[in-house]
Structure 1
Amino acid sequence: MIHPPSLAIGAIIASIAIVAVIFGLNGTFDESELAIKPTPEMDSIGPAKITMETFLENGSTVYGDPNAPITLVEFGDYQCHYCNVFFETIEGDIITNYVETGKVKIIFKDFNIIGSDSVNASHGAHCAKDQGMFWEYHDILYSNWTGENNGWASPENLTSFAKEINLDMDQWVECMDEKPHSKTILTSNEDAKKLQLTGTPAFFVINSDGQVSKLFGAQPFEVFERVFDEQLEN
């Protein structure tokens, strides 16, 4: 598919998603807390100032129709187990039913919480983005996932992945050496902290009116389907 335990830090995430059953991160959720107040400023999430840029900037290229009415923002770590579960078992259904039909577009943002290989993988994806191939590199990373901090995302393997998707290797290697995307990756991580995220994957569903719903963990496709359909009906 080309497109375009999850680490939980501290206590179990509670009362901030839309359903009581979680497939990924465990927690108890209150449906009444689904909607965050409309952007551009959403101070209810936490003490940091939250704007639409907090969700949409410092991430991937858009996957899907840029004019799609719904935006799905994923904060993920390439070494994260449940991020891989989402990629392997859920994301494809979202792409088939919502992205390819022009209803949803996807943005991926980095939240590096597992190790240095996660950061290096993020650099690899952003260097691929310079050649218009962010999502191809994103996909090959998750397709080669074998665990957390076990070496699958080593510099040597990251280079092999770049070759496999036929990137211009001189350009990609130079980018990896110079790391021009360090600020973007760092800021994306800061955005995740502003949003008080404590694990990956974490998702925000934003409709055309700027209303935001949040989901945590590799939720079943039916949960995403429900949120998308509710947003599309409004």
Structure 2
Amino acid sequence: MEQNNIPASENNYPTSKASDLNRFFLPGTILIAAIIISGSILYANRDKSGVGNDNQAPQGQQRNKVDISIDNAPVLGNPKARVTIVEFADFRCPFCERFSNQTGSQIIKNYVDTGKARFVFKHFAFLGQQSVWAAEASECAKEQGKFWEYHNWLYQNQAPESDLAYYSKTNLTKYAGNIAGIDTVRFASCLNKGAYSKNVAKDLSQGQSAGVTGTPTVFINGVAIVGAQPYAVFKSAIEEALKN
């Protein structure tokens, strides 16, 4: 995609990229694997040890506009807002954590809470089976009206990507106990039976179709901004969208 005129220094902000995905996926994830195989192979800039070379991906604002269906995705803000912001993210992605806890919170405060924009979250759970479980767990929280609380908790308490046990189904259920109002018995049942596995897989497929190859990728009225960019980059794009 054609690069917009963002300064070179801002085009080097990192994303988690995709490759070697098959080493992450366990038996029982055939549906997810099929989607990945049918699309482009992701996470391509990681070395053989699995350690990310996180500055290699082209990043910044992309000019091509794509249509992204909101479906039943979690949404914050005015449904009739002029600007729609859609984030594709993985709960285990460290740059998604950076976006959520820093830039994303500013965007929500200045544009979503003021009614100028709505914020939509889409799962791009591509870092392994534990990412898929975390995504499904957040959907189980959404079932009880607590998606954003659980979303925030996971990012505010994110573990290193190598800590796979942290994102076991047992632990993900335990974390739900930190959210007031969540019935953990109901939550555990939802997560253990994979009630939202198809939803998570659908988001991944949709992201691939939209050209997502790393996380976070954020679309502002259909125009992508890739990577953990500074707030100023998003502010500029949102302000431009508000004028159009």
Please report the TM-score for the alignment, with normalisation by the length of structure 2. Answer: 0.75
Matched, 1:74 2:103: no
Query: Quick one: which of 173, 179, 190 aligns to 1:159?
Result: 173
Q: Where do residues 11-90 of structure 1 align in structure 2 (5 Å cutoff)? A: 15-16=2-3, 19=6, 20=8, 21-22=10-11, 23-25=13-15, 26=55, 34-36=63-65, 51-53=67-69, 56-57=70-71, 59=73, 61-90=74-103
1:100 is displaced (CA, Å) by 0.8
Whether the 8 Å CA contact 2:91–2:134 is kept in 1: the answer is yes
1:18 is displaced (CA, Å) by 5.5
Q: Where do residues 91-130 of structure 1 align in structure 2 (5 Å cutoff)? A: 91-130=104-143
Instruction: Kindly tell me the number of residue pairs found equivalent between the two proteins.
Output: 199
Equivalent position SS for 1:152:
helix
Distance 1:163 1:91 in 2: 25
Whether the 8 Å CA contact 2:2–2:63 is kept in 1: the answer is no
Matched, 1:189 2:204: yes
Distance 1:149 1:160 in 2: 20
Residue 241 of structure 2 corresponds to which residue in structure 1?
231
1:28 is displaced (CA, Å) by 5.2
Matched, 1:205 2:216: no
**Displaced runs of 4+ in structure 1, greater than 4 A?**
14-18, 26-31
Identical-residue share of aligned pairs (%): 34
1:52 is displaced (CA, Å) by 3.8
* Structure 1, unaligned runs of 5 or more: 1-13, 37-41, 43-50, 207-211
Query: Quick one: which of 232, 235, 242 aligns to 1:222?
Result: 232
User: In 2 relative to 1, CA 18–100 (structure 1 residues): closer, same or farther, beyond 3 Å?
Assistant: farther
Please report the TM-score for the alignment, with normalisation by the length of structure 1. Answer: 0.78
Whether the 8 Å CA contact 1:144–1:152 is kept in 2: the answer is no
Cα RMSD (Å): 2.0
Whether the 8 Å CA contact 1:84–1:145 is kept in 2: the answer is yes
Equivalent position SS for 1:86:
helix
Whether the 8 Å CA contact 1:117–1:149 is kept in 2: the answer is no
Distance 2:92 2:68 in 1: 27
